[in-house]
Amino acid sequence: MTQIAITRAVSASLGQCELTHQDRMSIDLDLARKQHAEYEACLESLGCELLRLPELPALPDAVFVEDTAVVLDEVAVITRPGAASRRPEIESVAGALKPFRTLLQFESPGTVDGGDVLAIGKDIYVGLSSRSNEQAVTQMRAELAVYGYSVHGVEVSGCLHLKSAVTLVSANTVLVNPNWIDPCSFAKHRTIEVHPDEVYAANGLLIGETVIYPTTFPRTAERLSKQGIGIESVDLSEMAKAEGAVTCCSLVFTHS
């Protein structure tokens, strides 16, 4: 099995990105591109084969490829992002995924960002956020039932996406900010809470048995290490200014 990571070059217009919960700050484009390249190198070091998509200069958020698709073992769900400005990103990602998966397409009035979808085994959790709605949960439940998936809606408040508040950090362990979601939604899994001073610290990207994790949350990183979670640290400070994080910048899946 080959582990593939789809990434996309940082857009020249990144500074005009969509923002929901953060104030706009100046983004150093050269630094953002350097950090993104280091993130890609980290993916490669953990065994991923990169499929790099070209820059879309006029689409500021296009680097955040996670939001355009949900890739499962059997199929890929092409999303319908909640921000209309992001929907032109979809076509090229669908084209990149077509050789690897059968594609399912979301339809109006459903909206969903991939950042609101967390798949753990046959359970799929969909964040009910400013970007993803109940119709998305209904559609996903109907489309994926045939493959044996159970789809659960999870209320999200205070942050952009479900995966701003919870991510998988080992086979049965989730990292959670309990102020943004109800941890009871993940009661069947072991839970590690973020350090209370690091509210954005719940986003990590599990590759194999290692978590790619931001350098900016050392107290939560210490909590992970104490629980036996292996970490590879990356600096994505410029992406964070665009409400991005480590899961946002790639679509990772296996292919035989």
Yes or no: say if 151 and 140 are a contact pair by the CB < 8 Å rule.
yes
d(Cα 106, Cα 69) in Å, to the nearest integer? 10
User: Which among 17, 159, 248, 249 is annotated as catalytic?
Assistant: 248
pLDDT by residue (tens digit) across 94-113? 999 999 999 999 889 999 99
For the question of residue 161 being annotated catalytic, the response is yes
pLDDT at position 23 is 85
pLDDT at position 163 is 98
pLDDT at position 170 is 97
pLDDT at position 20 is 85
Yes or no: say if 129 and 161 are a contact pair by the CB < 8 Å rule.
yes
Please tell me whether residue 92 adopts helix, strand or coil conformation. helix
Yes or no: say if 159 and 131 are a contact pair by the CB < 8 Å rule.
no
Centroid of chain to Cα 152: 17
Contacts 24+ apart (CB under 8 A), 185-194: 185/125, 185/152, 185/154, 186/125, 188/123, 189/120, 192/223, 192/224, 192/227, 192/229, 193/223, 194/220, 194/223
pLDDT at position 151 is 98
pLDDT at position 70 is 98
pTM for this prediction: 0.96
Place of tokens 């790639």: 250
Stretches where the chain sits below pLDDT 70 are: none
User: Which among 36, 161, 189, 249 is annotated as catalytic?
Assistant: 161
**Domain at 183, CATH number:** 3.75.10.10
Q: What are the percentages of helix, strand and coil residues in the chain, rounded to 5?
A: 30, 30, 40
Yes or no: say if 82 and 135 are a contact pair by the CB < 8 Å rule.
no
Q: 94 lies in which domain range?
A: 2-255
> CA distances (Å), 76 to each of 82, 91, 94, 194, 236, in order?
18, 13, 9, 30, 27
d(Cα 160, Cα 256) in Å, to the nearest integer? 34
pLDDT at position 19 is 86
pLDDT at position 21 is 84
pLDDT at position 218 is 98
d(Cα 132, Cα 116) in Å, to the nearest integer? 7
For the question of residue 21 being annotated catalytic, the response is no
Number of structural domains in the chain:
1
